[in-house]
A and B are shown apart, each in its own frame.
Chain A
């Protein structure tokens, strides 16, 4: 059953990406409209959709940190210690 579902989605990448965007949009809109932001921890969180912005920036920051750290020469061949 799982295999069939995955096969079905693999042959329809358009449908898959549309579903994905749909879910993301639904979650963000739901958080914008429904949620009570009176009792948040910090002022920043009063900005509507704050956690969406925060996440996108965080994920990119982590990615850039990882790529930059790898570029400094930290990333090397897997057989480094065997040589």
Chain B
């Protein structure tokens, strides 16, 4: 990067690290795997200590790209993303396939790139990098459903990307400006709403949310740990950057907070339940962005920070259970406390953190957003979010641990017998996240010192707030004791808006394969008989003449080229579209990087 001495983009560390990773062999592989995210994290810490605008490059004459806008809002998000990259990589350290780590690092690099970007072009570049890289985290799962789930995820995100692109190109046409800054709520037009919709799709705001539980329940075990942290919270950052104070986000946020809980109450898949829980928790953040006051934005940043840690922890424990038992269904789990007591302990730490128990991270972050709602004279918002607090404890604090670890094991006996604590690195990662959940909840000034608006004073540990929280928790537990059979494990699922494209897709397929295909076949046949056959005869003669006559006479170049082409196509064209996509995207990304940085 030119022009700014001493600026090294943390994404660049991850990208170069990822490019070299397949070449690194044991015994250096594991240290290297930890080294790269730690270097990126240190780089983020260094940048955060030196705020400013870095990495400004001229692009194609009159456009200015900004790769490094380091200010109070981007700092806190970049910090937690880089920290989560270390924990996630530690959790996946036992995975031998280097490409899974490459995809994860590309994904984190995309997230950090979005967070530090200062204009829509750079944002869009890294936004798409995130979408494509995370798709591979789904495809690497050998499950039969994962390939289709990956395609659905990719298509939905490509759609969102196109909406975003439309939005900022329209805005550029009107204002001549690509800079990614706060938009005005008074002067909205089509471009504002398109940009908002594009960003909201990644934040899983209804009605653009169905991809989340669908994809996260089909990803690899380590992939889901990464995915639960980065996509939605990066989108929350972008919303906070451009749409703080937009009233519509308050209502959408409250709606998604309630909606997520309702689905999570009935879900039978661990990671689908946690996915719905993400939607519910991100609802708090979206509402916080909509409220838009200094306290609300601080609350949004704090909650995103806390959420990444405890949700990462919950996905890690879920992964440990799935890895140990081979199933993710509550109807095939239960009573695992004897086999996996450590995992249970970590899951409980995550569960009490998300439920907002005093001394755990959710307590000090969630309440900021609720207080901001009451202070802005939006009592209904405050009460609705308190209701969701009760629901969160019901779902993640009581239903989830109860169905996995207590009661009787409902699956096959052999999967109970084979269930055991996970590998050391997974345990270490869960322990680290657990300790951080406790640290940031108890020694909260550490977290508050990083928040974007420095002047705001907030005290979470007042006696009234303690009494309020403890009453909510105690009475929720009381209610659960009476209703737990009504939300027990059932081998059912809840339909959602993805029905439209999953079933609607079949209709399209039928249309394409039956009537349209018939027309196409008839047309093709007519063309072949009338047009193609005479043409082929003539050209076959000339090809023969060229190959045997001309090339033979000259120097045999054509034969050489054909041989090379065949060898390349054996390597790169395997007939599986995801590999073709992978090579194409990697090549495009490398070409773009070379163009920008060289």
Alpha-carbon separation in the docked complex, A24 to B480 (Å) = 13
CB nearest neighbor in B for A62: B391
Q: Is B52 an interface residue (CB 8 A)?
A: no
Neighbouring B residues of A17 by C-beta, 8 Å: 481
- B521-569 interface (Cβ within 8 A of A): none
Residues of chain A contacted by B492 (CB below 8 angstroms): 70, 75-78
The docked-state distance in angstroms from the alpha carbon of A39 to that of B493 is 45
Neighbour of A24 across the interface among B341, B386, B475, CB < 8 A: B475
Q: Which of B371, B383, B468, B474 has the most CB of A within 10 A?
A: B474
Interface residues of A in 61-83 (CB under 8 A from B): 61-63, 65-67, 69-70, 73-78, 80-81
Number of interface residues of B (CB under 8 A): 50
Instruction: Name the residue of chain A whose CB is nearest to the CB of B483.
Output: A63
Q: Which residue of B lies closest to A17 (CB)?
A: B481
Which B residues touch A59, using CB under 8 A?
390-391, 394, 475-476, 479-480, 483
Given the known A-B contacts A66-B487, A70-B494, are A24 and B262 also in contact in the complex, defined by CB atoms under 8 Å?
A: no
Residues of B contacting A: mostly: helix
**Given known A28-B474, A62-B262, contact A74–B494 (CB-CB < 8 A):** yes
Q: Per-position contact with B for A18-58: 1 when CB-CB < 8 Å, else 0?
A: 00110110011011001111011110000001011011101
A27–chain B nearest beta-carbon distance, Å? 4
Main secondary structure of the interface of A (DSSP, over half): helix
With known contacts A2-B344, A49-B471, A63-B486, A37–B464 Cβ distance under 8 A? yes
Contact of A63 with B472 at beta-carbon distance under 8 Å, contacts A3-B341, A41-B374, A74-B494 already known: no
B452-493: contact bitstring with A at CB < 8 Å (1 yes, 0 no)?
A: 000000000001100110111011111111010011000111
Q: Are B491 and A62 in contact (CB under 8 A)?
A: no
How many A-B pairs with Cβ below 8 Å? 139
Bound together, the chains give a CA A61 to CA B494 distance in angstroms of 19
Q: What 0/1 readout, one digit per residue, does chain B (486-504) give for beta carbons within 8 Å of chain A? A: 1100011111100000100
Residue of B at shortest CB range from A58? B387
Contact (Cβ within 8 A) B464 A27: no
Task: Tell me the smallest distance from the CB of B199 to a CB of chain A, in Å.
Answer: 28
- Taking a contact as CB atoms under 8 Å apart, the answer to whether B391 and A27 are in contact is no
How far, in whole Å, are A66 and B406 apart by their CA atoms in the complex? 23
Closest to A51 in B: B471
Complex CA–CA separation, A56 to B390 (angstroms) = 9
Sorted from nearest, which 6 A-B pairs have the closest CB atoms?
Answer: A41-B374, A55-B475, A58-B387, A31-B467, A51-B471, A59-B479
Interface contact A41-B382, CB-CB below 8 Å:
yes
Contacts of B262 in A (CB 8 A): 62, 65-66, 69
Q: Given that A55-B475, A62-B394, A67-B486 are known contacts, is A35 also in contact with B387, CB under 8 Å in the complex?
A: no
User: Which residues from chain A contact B471 at a C-beta distance below 8 Å?
Assistant: 27-28, 31, 49, 51-52, 55
B344: which A residues are within 8 A, CB to CB? 2
User: A39–B464 contact, CB under 8 A?
Assistant: yes
A66 to B513, CA, bound (A): 39
Across the interface, name the chain B residue whose C-beta is closest to A41: B374
A80→B338 contact, CB < 8 A: no
B478 touches A56 (CB 8 A): yes
Contacts of B263 in A (CB 8 A): 66
Name the distance in Å between A45's Cβ and chain B's nearest Cβ.
Answer: 8
- A-B contact sample (4 more), CB < 8 A, given A2-B344, A28-B475, A52-B471: A41-B371, A51-B475, A59-B391, A75-B494
CB of B311 within 8 A of chain A?
A: no
Do residues B486 and A41 form an inter-chain contact, with CB atoms below 8 A?
no
B433 within 8 A of A: no
* Residues A34 and B463 in contact, CB atoms below 8 Å apart: yes
- Which residue of the partner chain A has the closest CB to B506? A81
- Chain A CB within 8 A of B69 CB: no
In the complex, 16 of the A-B residue pairs with CB atoms within 8 angstroms, ordered by the A residue number, are A3-B341, A27-B467, A36-B464, A41-B371, A41-B374, A42-B374, A51-B467, A51-B475, A55-B471, A55-B475, A59-B390, A59-B476, A66-B261, A66-B263, A66-B266, A75-B266
A6, A27, A40, A75 interface centre (most CB from chain B within 10 Å):
A27
How close is A2's CB to chain B, nearest CB, in angstroms? 5
Q: How far is the CB of B149 from chain A (nearest CB, A)?
A: 10
A28-B471, A60-B479 as given contacts; A2 in contact with B341, CB under 8 Å = yes
B265 interface hit (Cβ, 8 Å): yes
Which residues of A are found within 8 Å of B178, using beta-carbon distances?
none
Contact: A24 with B495, CB < 8 Å? Answer: no
Q: For residue B478, which residues in chain A have a CB less than 8 angstroms away from its CB?
A: 20-21, 24, 56
